[in-house]
Amino acid sequence: MRSILTEFAYGNINPGEQSCAKDPELKEANVLVSRINEKLHERLNTEETELLEKLADAHIEVNSLTAIQSLLYGYKLGVIMTAEAFVTSRDLIT
């Protein structure tokens, strides 16, 4: 088995492509979004539907950028915490 860094370098691991199918709360939220979307499409005219789709695309873009920023922040925070643990570990061995 390759290291996690090697798998990441080869593109076999992509934090942005997580499967959330096992999360029942997320699944329920997606079902709700689909139902509301269908109801709105039934009631809106073509111009309003296009506007709604543009809004949805904008939300997807914002969510994607937010997820990336959260991943980077969390990773950096984890590295800092790990570094601190190494720097202060000699306090444990006295």
pLDDT reading at 94 higher than 70: no
pLDDT of residue 79: 94
What is the pLDDT at residue 34? 94
- What pLDDT, on the 0 to 100 scale, is given for residue 22? 76
Give the per-residue pLDDT at 74.
Answer: 93
The whole-angstrom separation of Cα 79 and Cα 83 is: 6
Rounded distance between C-alpha atoms, residue 31 and residue 35, angstroms? 6
Residues 6+ apart with CB under 8 A from 45: none
| pLDDT single digits (tens) 27-65 | 899 999 999 999 999 999 999 999 999 999 999 999 989
Is residue 13 within 8 A of residue 4, CB to CB? The reply is yes
Q: What's the confidence (pLDDT) of residue 18?
A: 67
What is d(CA 70, CA 72) in angstroms, rounded to the nearest whole number? Answer: 5
State the pLDDT at residue 53.
95
Which pair of structure tokens corresponds to residue 40?
A: 């709105």
Asked if the model's pLDDT at residue 1 lies above 60, the reply is no
Q: Using alpha carbons, select from 7, 60, 6, 72 the residue that is nearest to residue 33.
A: 60
Out of 56-60, 72-76, 85-89, pick the least confident: 85-89
Check: CB of residue 27 under 8 Å from CB of residue 21. yes
